[in-house]
């Protein structure tokens, strides 16, 4: 009884981890299924069909390519703009700073339907045709605030003494920035960029409002396919993404914890 | 200690600079321009759209048509209430699940800490829709979860609570709320983890030395110190959950329609832009109102 009391938090924690992982495990298992009907709900028979022919579902790989492309471009642009803004907000005092912080915070506090629909009204009013451009505009918008917040946290955690030391060693402000500050902030920028890509790649709701009829991203493909039975290939992509994410996050964490040990 | 050695520049003490008033402006310009043109302006265009009258074929005209708001609320108040209720329940569940998990990760996981963080973050980087579809498989009628729930009487309890209309788990409020709680759990766990990791465990010993029992230690020491994480976690969960319709569409039935689904179909299928804009605006106003009340009550203004 005492043992249970002591370890209750560990038991609950492990159960919650199981809850988090369960759907991912199902995605992996069902990527090897050969469904009996259109719907991949019931285990029928082991098969490598989907793995051997990942693009076998018409339109899926095109949608995947589009999503990757949009994710990379949106992440790049919002990382550049967001990093600049993060430096301005954490390193300078200027009138209107708190208002600017609020403007950065608001998009994160806006539900996706509201953001998507208000952008749609703007594009309709402007007469702008929905397509890749409108999707990119929307994705840069909702990833921007996350990049600013992530990079800002990293800049704030820097020890200003390091830059002062660089200045003492006759570094020009530009040298001090590129040789000292930037490399130290780089992990934060990388994390922001990764987050921006993940958010863009995963987005359905905002995209659906601004994509038009012919531009289909991967989440839109999955949504459409779900109505009439998603192909097994969707699970293959889901599995690859899950394994890839574990690898990337794992490597990033491993580097981070080793750095921390060296620092300490 | 302003030691000025000839040839060495005086030490700059502040990290926050005032020099060069134009630098921050230039740095901020692109991002602020983007946020203004594509966030502030659309908010106004949404507001203006919500007061227009007309239809898609003949065009819409601005007319201070407040009737749109009345008919939006009159027709869709059940979906509104349901969204707030489902999102609120899901938020409470994520807090109840996330708190022990965050504590476990922060203080009891030892050398597995990094691995657990990876396992919590990684699913968040895989597709939201694919994971939600996996819940269809998990909750399917003859699946092991359904069978276990039925055998243990959990389904009966859920039915009694009105969470499951008949005895199948799929297509029920239960499934929608479970999906919401699942999908937004990382948003709760990560801020909680950040707060709890900073908590100095010696406080607990101190509380024990002062004869606090476990319950008192939790409410008087742990809870207040974890409040910043609780507030940002609940906001990051509640706000997107209230507007979400992926879970209610994929895991629910016609009785679980949430407001996001109504906004989506009014905008994209019915093409009644003014009504849809009014619904969108009400949702935003409700959330801003609730969030500001909540943040004031929690007493943490340090969110931004």
Q: Vertex A179, ends A178 and A184: CA angle to 5°?
A: 90
Q: Which of A117, A234, A261 would best serve as a mutation to test chain B binding (most B beta carbons within 10 A)?
A: A117
* B148-177: average pLDDT: 87
- Going by pLDDT thresholds of 50, 70 and 90, the confidence category of residue B11 is very low
Nearest to B301 by CA among A101, A261, A100, A143: A101
Report CA Rg, chain B.
Answer: 25
Q: Which of A6, A63, A106, A113 would best serve as a mutation to test chain B binding (most B beta carbons within 10 A)?
A: A113
- Cβ–Cβ gap A100/B32 under 8 Å: yes
pTM of the model: 0.87
Residue B30 lies in a domain: no
- Cβ–Cβ gap A114/B46 under 8 Å: yes
* B20-49: average pLDDT: 89
Nearest to B90 by CA among B239, B295, B209, B222: B239
Chain B residues inside the 8 Å CB shell of A221: none
CB A68, CB A201: distance < 8 Å:
yes
Phi, psi dihedrals of residue A110, rounded to the nearest 5°: -105, 125
Comparing CB atoms, the residue among A24, A218, A230 nearest residue B123 is: A24
Neighbours of A105 (CB within 10 A): 15
Whole-number pLDDT of residue A231: 86
Phi, psi dihedrals of residue B53, rounded to the nearest 5°: -135, 160
Whole-number pLDDT of residue B8: 43
- Cβ–Cβ gap A205/B244 under 8 Å: yes
Lowest mean pLDDT segment, chosen from A99-108, A190-199, A226-235, B15-24: B15-24
Chain B residues inside the 8 Å CB shell of A93: 16-18
Chain A residues inside the 8 Å CB shell of B14: 160
Residue B81 lies in a domain: yes
pLDDT 10s digits, A12-40: 999 999 999 999 999 998 889 888 777 77
Residue A264, pLDDT > 80, answer: no
B210/A contact by beta carbon, under 8 A = no
Q: What percent of chain A has pLDDT over 70?
A: 96
CB A17, CB B120: distance < 8 Å:
yes
Comparing CB atoms, the residue among A22, A121, A242 nearest residue B49 is: A121
b/e map A124-143, b = 16+ CB within 10 Å: beeeeebeeebbbbbbbbbb
The whole domain housing B118 covers: 61-298
Whole-number pLDDT of residue A36: 76
SS3 (DSSP) at B251: helix
Comparing CB atoms, the residue among B24, B129, B267 nearest residue A94 is: B24
Neighbours of B121 (CB within 10 A): 21
pLDDT 10s digits, B99-144: 999 999 998 887 788 888 888 888 777 788 999 999 988 998 888 8
B116/A contact by beta carbon, under 8 A = yes
Residue A14 to residue B152: CA distance in whole angstroms? 22
Residue B232, pLDDT > 90, answer: no
Residue A261, pLDDT > 70, answer: no
Chain A residues inside the 8 Å CB shell of B98: 16
- Asked if this assembly's ipTM is beyond 0.90, the reply is no
Residue A22 to residue B135: CA distance in whole angstroms? 9
Chain A residues inside the 8 Å CB shell of B267: 117, 120, 209
Nearest to A43 by CA among A28, A29, A57, A56: A29
Tell me the β-bridge partners of B59.
B55
Whole-number pLDDT of residue B25: 87
- Cβ–Cβ gap B135/A23 under 8 Å: yes
Residue B31 to residue A78: CA distance in whole angstroms? 8
B96/A contact by beta carbon, under 8 A = no
B134/A contact by beta carbon, under 8 A = yes
CB A195, CB A74: distance < 8 Å:
no
- Cβ–Cβ gap A234/B133 under 8 Å: yes
- Give the residue on A whose Cα is nearest the Cα of B292: A109
Whole-number pLDDT of residue A254: 76
Mean pLDDT computed over every residue of chain B:
85
Residue B147, domain CATH: 1.10.3720.10
pLDDT 10s digits, B179-219: 999 999 998 998 999 889 888 888 888 888 888 888 888 88
CATH number among 3.40.50.300, 3.40.630.30, 1.10.3720.10, 3.40.50.2300, domain A68-237: 1.10.3720.10
Domains contained in chain B, number: 1
- Cβ–Cβ gap A248/B125 under 8 Å: yes
Counted residue by residue, chain B has a size of 304
Chain B residues inside the 8 Å CB shell of A13: 100-101, 103-105, 108-109
Residue B67 to residue B86: CA distance in whole angstroms? 28
Chain A residues inside the 8 Å CB shell of B105: 13
Residue B1, pLDDT > 60, answer: no
Cβ-Cβ contacts under 8 Å for B34 (sequence gap 6 or more): A81, A140, A141, A144
């Amino acid at each position: 009884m005492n043992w249970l009391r002591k370890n209750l938090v560990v038991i609950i924690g492990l159960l919650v981890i199981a809850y988090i992982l369960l759907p991912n495990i199902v995605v992996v298992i069902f990527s090897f299924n050969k469904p009996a009907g259109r719907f991949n709900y019931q285990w029928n028979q082991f098969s490598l069909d989907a793995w051997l022919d990942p693009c076998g579902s018409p339109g899926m790989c095109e949608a995947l390519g589009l999503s990757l492309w949009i994710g990379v471009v949106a992440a790049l642009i919002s990382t550049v703009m967001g990093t600049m803004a993060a430096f301005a907000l954490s390193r300078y005092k200027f009138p209107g700073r708190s208002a600017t912080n609020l403007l950065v915070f608001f998009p994160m506090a806006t539900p996706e339907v509201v953001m998507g629909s208000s952008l749609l009204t703007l594009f309709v009013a402007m007469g702008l045709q929905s397509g890749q451009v409108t999707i990119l505009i929307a994705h840069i918008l909702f990833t921007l605030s996350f990049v600013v917040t992530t990079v800002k946290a990293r800049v704030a955690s820097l020890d200003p003494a390091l830059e002062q030391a660089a200045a003492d060693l006759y570094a020009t402000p530009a040298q001090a920035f590129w040789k000292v500050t930037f490399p130290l902030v780089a992990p934060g920028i990388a994390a922001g960029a990764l987050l921006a890509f993940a958010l863009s790649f995963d987005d359905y709701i905002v995209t659906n409002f601004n994509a038009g009829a012919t531009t289909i991203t991967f989440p839109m493909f999955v949504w459409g396919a779900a109505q009439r039975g998603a192909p097994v290939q969707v699970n293959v992509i889901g599995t690859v993404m899950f394994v890839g994410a574990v690898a990337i996050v794992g490597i990033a964490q491993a580097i981070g914890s080793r750095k921390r040990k060296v620092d300490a | 200690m302003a030691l000025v050695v000839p040839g060495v520049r005086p030490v700059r003490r502040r990290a926050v600079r005032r020099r060069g008033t134009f630098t921050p402006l230039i740095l901020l310009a692109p991002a602020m321009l983007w946020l203004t043109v594509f966030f502030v302006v659309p908010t106004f265009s949404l507001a203006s759209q919500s007061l227009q009258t007309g239809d898609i074929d003949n065009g819409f005209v601005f007319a201070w048509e407040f009737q749109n708001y009345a008919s939006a609320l009159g027709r869709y108040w059940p979906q509104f209430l349901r969204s707030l209720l489902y999102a609120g329940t899901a938020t409470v569940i994520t807090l109840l699940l996330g708190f022990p998990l965050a504590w476990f990760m922060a203080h009891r996981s030892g050398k597995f800490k990094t691995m657990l963080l990876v396992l919590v973050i990684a699913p968040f980087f895989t597709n939201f829709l694919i994971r939600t579809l996996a819940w269809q498989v998990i909750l399917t009628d003859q699946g092991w979860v359904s069978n276990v729930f039925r055998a243990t009487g959990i389904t009966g309890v859920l039915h009694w609570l009105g969470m499951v209309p008949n005895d199948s788990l799929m297509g029920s409020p239960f499934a929608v709320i479970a999906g919401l709680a699942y999908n937004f759990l990382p948003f709760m766990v990560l801020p909680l983890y950040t707060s709890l990791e900073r908590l100095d465990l010696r406080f607990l010993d101190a509380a024990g030395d002062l004869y606090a029992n476990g319950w008192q230690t939790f409410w008087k020491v742990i809870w207040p110190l974890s409040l910043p994480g609780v507030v940002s976690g609940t906001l990051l969960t509640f706000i997107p959950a209230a507007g979400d319709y992926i879970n209610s569409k994929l895991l629910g039935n016609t009785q679980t329609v949430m407001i996001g689904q109504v906004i989506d179909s009014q905008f994209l299928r019915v093409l009644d832009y003014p009504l849809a804009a009014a619904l969108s605006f009400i949702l935003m106003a409700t959330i801003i109102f609730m969030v500001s009340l909540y943040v004031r009550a929690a007493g943490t203004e340090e969110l931004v």
